[in-house]
Each structure stands twice: as structure tokens, then as C-alpha cells.
Amino acid sequence: MKTDQIRKKFLNFFETKGHRIVLSDKIVPANDPSLLFTSAGMNQFKEQFLGKVGDFRRAASCQKCLRTADLEKVGKTPYHHTFFEMLGNFSFGDYFKKEAIQWAWEFLTKELQIDDKLLWVSVYKDDQEAFEIWQDAIGLPREKIMRFGPKENFWPANAIEEGPNGPCGPCSEIFFDRGPTYGCRRSSCSPACDCGRFVEVWNLVFTQFNRVEKNKIELLPHKNIDTGMGLERISSCLQGVDTNFEIDIFRPIVESTIDILKLKSTDAMDKVRCIADHIRAVVFAIGDGVIPSNEERGYVIRKLIRRANWFAYQLNYKRPFLNQLVSVVCNCMKEPYPELERQRESISGIILAEEERFLDNIQEGIGYFREIIDEMKAKNITNISSDILFKLYDTYGFPLELTKELAGKFNLGLDLVGFEEKMQQQRTKARLGSKITENIFAKDILQLLPSEFVGYNTRSCQAKIIQLIQDKKNIESVFQGQQAWLILDRTPFYGESGGQVGDTGVIKNLKNELVAEVLDTKRIEETNVHIVKVISGVLKIQDVVLAEVDSQRRQAIQRAHTATHLLQAALRRVLGLHVHQAGSLVEPDHFRFDFTHFRDLKPEELQRIQQLVNEYIRANDNVQTSIMKKQDAEQSGAIALFGEKYGQTVRVVSCGDYSKEFCGGTHLSNTGAVALFLISNESSVGSGIRRIEGFTGELAYDKVMKQIQELQDKLEQANTAVKRIQKQLDVYRLKEILGDIPQIVKNNTIKITDTNLFIYGFKNIQLDTLRAISDKVLEILAKQSISVLFSESGHLICRVSNDLKDKISSVDLIKEILKPLGGSGGGRVDFAQGGFKNRLDPQTITTTVKEKVRQLLSQ
């Protein structure tokens, strides 16, 4: 029987038994900070187990789980995994042991058609009730019902003596007998033997006690059922294979790994299986939004990627390869998890970037190791400390085997005891982060009353105060100067979620006797919680008030939020369809947008993206919202937030024909209201994740005006500098020219009758310089002289010596010269200057001057 069939059969079976079929939670629990990863099917039903029963009291699910407590066993045993699927049925104060046992037996023997002769069970040694149900109601022989102690058949294990406090209870396990040819092969073999013949496939937990202190438990008023059946394990039993790694959804990954690494099918199977396991875990974790990093969840995923790459490295494959297995995983799991296929390129790119980083780190680590060796030699040290070992492992990703190999080449010892202590500290920290904490079922969690959000269509409304909270306690009133949490039966205030910041504003009573400032709004579960400070009057439960959002601030937030949708559309158009949003922050006219991409953006790409967004803005397209079934929304092309969990019904926001996204935030009614979009920065925030920051509306305008002013200031400074430099150049050029002037005058002066006529053109010198040169020329020529100097830059000067002023006027002469050049000039009889725009012809000027001078002198 195919694994997909088993999964379907399980959910369909329990649906016929009145169970609500609930979608798998993400690898990272949606609303439970006490868990590092989702490690069991019951995690997402915490509220139901706490007694906060909603509209269902029976549930069934197939939950994606991730555990790393037994990491060293993965690949070496048939059944241990980091990622696996857990089938489970749950009762929250509804049915109990008899139904749970009967339905489990019915599903295994009737739906899956397992021969009952192959099934054994165990019960807690003191649970006579469960024993009798198995014997009398099911008809199982006494010898096939094992009694085990609190370590094996109590949840949590040894809870009565060791804790934690909280709900607990006995459990009953169901075992599948693989047959006498497996395991120890002794005739006396039973589920009590750990040889591997008997496979535990289903655990039924009967949560009926509350542990209050060591060795003291009390009956719970409402008893619960929590079961878990490993999908991979039951599949391997039904498909008649020796390990989980050979079932239909695992085998293609194993085979592809062997093919890529160019191995024989029997080579290093423990490493191959470990790689196949780890790539499944990594693909699902990244698909649910966990990005490799150096912190918490991201560190675990980074470790799995590096661990898988190290196994390949040991098999002499020293190139990225895990990214090639992503498509295989997506194909194997496409029926239950089609979203993986849509994220395939993004996931592949993130893994590739991380693989390249790891291989680079290996080389850097080898360099670091060589430095350490040199230092040790200089100090005559022959043992590598645990601190260095752990740094090689934790910082550079060096597996201990690699360090041992390198150390062996230099005959160096290793502080393995100290290293193991540090590793154990890390394991303990990870284990504490990945299991249920003691207060997960704490009874002092304050129940928030439900509140209706009406802020999509209005920014003010009348409402009733239904809850006031201070110091985690319900109160009746809040006085002037005090702060509190306030909940209304209906509210226009948007609570911070999905990256969009919460609204601010005021809450007043209808007589204006009360004024409370809304400092912030948070969304907690399904309730918008207002953080308020009373400015005047008194807030009281059941009072009717007017709730008013700061409209100008909300509009600025909406500009930024709508702009992020336009930005994602532009990114996908410019960079490719692998781009998906991986997080955001939306504030008044400011945004931060994280997205999947695997290299720096080029300046021209950023420019094109910014240009596209502003084109979308100028198009002034309508922004439309609709409520759709999740499946219909996906089929329509709507984009979901990378790694986000959604219910069966979603809200879709569309802009024109280029943007359609799942989104619960508030938006503009048209794109034109964004006004202006400006990118301020682009950077990397992790492997395969980039970040763009920017501004919209008023802030964008202010930034642009500031940039323009800065450019104007810089231009003015540049112009001033150019003028200063030009003056300095003119000084240098003048000195140079003045030194050459006597020779220039000698070579370019002609005689007309008794008069010396000097005509000369210079290249691109300024008027001041030309004037200074004319002074020098006049000084050299002295009496009976006329000089005409011009520059290709458009300047012209005429000088006449004093003894010729009665015969020739510099003003008349310059006008005659400039007339054909389209210029003009003026001055005194002995000195005139002017300018021209037409193209300079030196020969024409020379001819004109000679003719005019001859004419004037002959009069």
C-alpha cells in the first residue's frame, strides 16, 4: 500500500468517527514559543488540551515533525529520522480509552487489513482498565498484552517521579511483528526485546492525571486522548521492506543520492540514508520559513545541511549536491504537500548558498587549523584543546572525524573529553528547546475574549469595552494616568501581525468625559488587544465608547504595505519567479522587505525594480480584496508568504493584473495613493535571503528632496571648486604666456605705414587672462600700435596706443570685427572688449582687422 494511500485512509477513517481533520501545523509551531520545532501531533492542540475547547472536541491530523534528540542514530537504524510524519487522533474531554483502543484496532485490521496475528500491544503495568479492554473488548490473548513500567508506558516517561508537573497519563503501544526471521530469532522474542523484530507503530496516550508534585498525581476533570502513529514506520511494515528508507516516498531520494555521488548501491548506506533523511528535513523546514543561520532553529537546519555535505565529503564528493535533491523530495511529497513544488526553486537556492558557504568554511577552517598547528609547535604543545575542537566544529563546521584526520598527520592528541562535555551542553540546550516545557499546560493563562475587527472598511466605530487587563488580571476600571490592555467587542484598530505594525489613536466616550490614548495594538490569537493610557476620565467595563484610529498614520502604513506587494511583483518580474517574500516590516511610509534570492542585486536591477514599482503606482490600478478558499486562491495564482501557515479560507489582495497575494493586512484602495516609492538599501540577511528597505509617500518625497538638495549643494561646491581651479590654472597659464609674449609679438606684428598691428588668437583662455596679456602687448609695442587679441572661448579685446586715439577708435574697430561673428562689444577709444557666439574664423578676423586699420589710417 502506497504511503499516500495510508495517509488518506487514516484521515478518512477518523473523519467517519466524527473527528475534525486538521491540517498539519508548520515545522515551527504557530503559537507556541516553548517549542523549538513541532515534535508531535498534539503540539498544535495545546489550547484544546488546556480546556479551551473551540467548535470541535475530536481531531485527527497528519503532522510534519522534526526532532534531533537522536541525531546520531539517524541512518544507522531502520526507523530513526529527523523529519517524519505523525498520524494522530485526539479527544479533548470526549471519548476515552475504549473508543481509542477499538478504533486503533479497527483501522489496523480492517482499513489496512493487517493480520491480527501480527499485532501485539503493551499497557502500563498499573492500567488494568486498558488491559481488560484489549483482552475483553478486542479479544487479544493475554500473552500478547505486555505490561511495562513508567519509562516505556507512561507519558511523559517517568513523569510521576521525575516530572514535569501537569497533565500526564498511561499509554498503550501497538507493535507489528516482522516475523521470526528478523532480530534475535529466539522463540521467546516479544515486544520486550529490542532486537528489531517487533516495531512499535502506534502509541495511545490516555491523559487522565495531573502531576502536582513528585509521586503525587490527581485525576483530571476532563480526560484526553493523544495518539501518534509514525507514517514511515507503518508504511515500511505494510510494504514489506526492511527499513523506512526503502518505502515509496523515501526510496527515490536514496537512489538519487547514490546516483549523484556516483556510488554503488551497497556503498556507505548509513551515510546515504542519513543524507536522504536530512534533505527531507531541510526541505520541509525551509519550506516552512526556517532559514539556515547561527541561531536556534536556523542553526539546527544549518547543522543538518553541513552534516549531509560532510558525509558526501567523506565519500570524496566535494561539491554542492543537496540542492539537486530538492526536486526529488518535492516530487515524492507532491500529493500531500503541493506547496513544496511552488517553493522548489527558492528552497534549492537557499540550500545551494548554504552548501557553498560550508565548503568555503572547510577551506577557511583548514587555514585556521594550520595557524593553530604553527602556534602549538612554537609553544611545544602536543594536545589540541577542547575549545579549539569545538570552534572548528561550531564555527567552521568541522566534523570531529575531519579534525582527527588532520591531527593525525601531525601526531597531535585531542581533548575529546572536554569536547564531548561541550557537545553535551549543546545537546542539552537543543533538547530543552525541542521538548514540551513544564508550563506548557499552565492554568494561569488569561483567557482573552473574542473581538471583531472592522478596520478594513472604517477607521472609527462605536464599541463596548468587554475586558480590561492589568498585570495579567482582569479588572473593572482604569483611572487617569494608568495603562492597561483593553479589548472591545468590535474594533477598527489593526493589531500588529504579518509584519504590519499596530494602529494607534484614541478611545473616547460619547460625552467626551473620557479620553484614552491607544499607544499600540497587538494581535494575540484571534483578539486585537489595545495598549491604552488614560488621559482623562475612567475606563469601565461595559462602557460604550468611540474608537478612532489615527487616520493619517494608518494611511501612511497602508502606503508602505501596498508598496511591498508592488515590490514583490517587480522583484519576480526582474529577478525571476523563484522570488518569494520571507518576512517584512511595514511602518508609516517605511518598509523592510525580505525575499528569497541567492546573490547581490546589481545596480541596474535595483534601478529597474524601483522604476517598475513607480510605474505600477502611476497606473493607479484598483487594489481589490476577496475572501477565497485556500485551494482556489492557490489555483488563481495568489502568492503565499514564504513558510506561513494558512487556514482553509484566506484573504487575497490584488493590484492590477501583476500582483495577487495572501494577505490579512490593510491596504490602499488604489496603487496611485502610494504616491512615490524609493529604495534606500539592499543587503543580505542570511543564506539565500536578501533585504530591501525603502520609503513611500511623504517620507519618500522628503528623502528625494533631501537628495536633490544634497546634489545641489554638491554641485555648487563642485562649481566653486572648478572656478577656483580655473583661476589657478589661468594664473599658471598667464605666467607661461607672458613669458612667451615678447617672441609672439615679434613674430605676429606687421607694419601698416608707421603703425604696428598685432593680431593673435589664443585657445580657450578667460577674459581676465586675455586682458592681462593685452596689457603686456601694449607695454612691448608702446607707441604707434594697435593690438587685437581673441580667444576661441568667445572673447575679443582691442587696444589702441594713446598717440593713435585721434585716428582710430577701439570701439569702432571691435564692432566691425564682431559684426560678422554675431557678437557685440564696447568700451573706450583706447580699449574695447566684446564677445561672439558664431564659430570663430581666425583668418577672417585677421583680414577684417587689416582692412579696417588701413582704411582708418588713410583718412
Of residues 686 and 388, more confidently modeled: 388
Burial of 332 (0-12, 13-18, 19+ CB in 10 A): buried
Q: Provide the pLDDT confidence category of residue 13 given band limits of 50, 70 and 90.
A: very high
Q: Is the pLDDT of residue 493 over 60?
A: yes
- Domain-wise residue ranges, the chain: 3-246, 250-442, 452-546, 554-703, 753-857
Q: Is the pLDDT of residue 371 over 80?
A: yes
Residue tagged 497587538 (cell numbers): 522
Its pTM stands at: 0.69
How much is the pLDDT for 694? 96
How much is the pLDDT for 453? 96
Residue range 452-546, CATH number: 2.40.30.130
C-alpha–C-alpha distance, residues 26 and 286, integer Å? 11
Highest mean pLDDT pick, 18-32, 431-445, 654-668: 654-668
C-alpha–C-alpha distance, residues 226 and 203, integer Å? 8
**CA 211 to each of CA 125, 166, 220, 224, 742: distance values in angstroms, whole numbers, following the listed order:** 18, 5, 10, 15, 113
For the stretch 701-752, pLDDT in tens is 999 999 999 999 999 999 999 888 877 877 887 888 888 889 988 888 888 8
Q: How far is CA 114 from the centre of its chain?
A: 46
Residue 370: partners with Cβ closer than 8 Å, 6 or more residues away? none
State the cell numbers at 835. 564677445
How much is the pLDDT for 446? 64
Whether 817 and 796 have beta carbons less than 8 Å apart is answered as yes
Q: Is the pLDDT of residue 642 over 70?
A: no
Q: Is the pLDDT of residue 34 over 90?
A: no
How much is the pLDDT for 445? 45
Cα dihedral 364, 365, 366, 372, rounded to 10, equals 120
How much is the pLDDT for 820? 78
Preceding omega of 399 cis (within 30 degrees of 0): no
Q: Is the pLDDT of residue 335 over 50?
A: yes
User: What are the φ and ψ backbone dihedral angles of 540, each rounded to 5 degrees?
Assistant: -135, 145
How much is the pLDDT for 246? 96
C-alpha–C-alpha distance, residues 813 and 848, integer Å? 9
SS3 210: strand
How much is the pLDDT for 376? 87
- Under DSSP, the state recorded for 598 is S
Q: Is the pLDDT of residue 53 over 70?
A: no
Q: Provide the pLDDT confidence category of residue 583 given band limits of 50, 70 and 90.
A: confident
How much is the pLDDT for 733? 77
Of residues 447 and 197, more confidently modeled: 197
User: Which class is domain 3-246?
Assistant: alpha beta
Highest mean pLDDT pick, 32-41, 198-207, 779-788: 198-207
State the cell numbers at 17. 468517527
Nearest partner of 531 among 516, 545, 510, 544, judged by Cα: 516
Residue type, 738: L
How much is the pLDDT for 115? 95
Q: Provide the pLDDT confidence category of residue 265 given band limits of 50, 70 and 90.
A: low
End-to-end CA distance of the chain: 125
Of residues 453 and 314, more confidently modeled: 453
C-alpha–C-alpha distance, residues 193 and 187, integer Å? 11
C-alpha–C-alpha distance, residues 37 and 66, integer Å? 6
Q: List the single range of 212-221, 321-330, 657-666 with lowest mean pLDDT.
A: 212-221
Strands (E), 493-622: 505-509, 515-524, 527-536, 539-540, 544-549, 581-587, 590-596
Q: Angle 296-314/344-379 helices, nearest 10 degrees?
A: 80
Q: Provide the pLDDT confidence category of residue 685 given band limits of 50, 70 and 90.
A: confident
User: Which class is domain 753-857?
Assistant: alpha beta
Whether 787 and 805 have beta carbons less than 8 Å apart is answered as no
Q: Is the pLDDT of residue 120 over 50?
A: yes
Percent of the chain with pLDDT over 90: 56
Bridging pattern class, strands 20-21 and 58-66 = parallel
For the stretch 284-311, pLDDT in tens is 999 888 888 877 788 899 989 999 998 9
C-alpha–C-alpha distance, residues 648 and 45, integer Å? 17
Residue 230: CA atoms inside 13 Å, Cβ hemisphere, count?
24
Bridging pattern class, strands 755-762 and 785-791 = parallel
SS3 225: strand
Can you tell me the mean pLDDT for 10-22?
A: 96
For the stretch 540-572, pLDDT in tens is 999 999 999 999 999 999 999 999 999 999 999
Q: Provide the pLDDT confidence category of residue 840 given band limits of 50, 70 and 90.
A: low
SS3 732: helix
Can you tell me the mean pLDDT for 836-852?
A: 78
Domain spanning 554-703: CATH 1.10.10.1100: no
Q: Is the pLDDT of residue 471 over 90?
A: no
Q: Provide the pLDDT confidence category of residue 345 given band limits of 50, 70 and 90.
A: confident
Q: Is the pLDDT of residue 530 over 80?
A: yes
C-alpha–C-alpha distance, residues 244 and 277, integer Å? 10
Whether 698 and 705 have beta carbons less than 8 Å apart is answered as no
Q: Is the pLDDT of residue 532 over 90?
A: yes
How much is the pLDDT for 440? 37
How much is the pLDDT for 434? 43
Whether 831 and 786 have beta carbons less than 8 Å apart is answered as no
User: What are the φ and ψ backbone dihedral angles of 770, each rounded to 5 degrees?
Assistant: -65, -35
Of residues 295 and 242, more confidently modeled: 242
Q: How far is CA 475 from the centre of its chain?
A: 40
Residue 378: partners with Cβ closer than 8 Å, 6 or more residues away? none
State the cell numbers at 110. 480492517
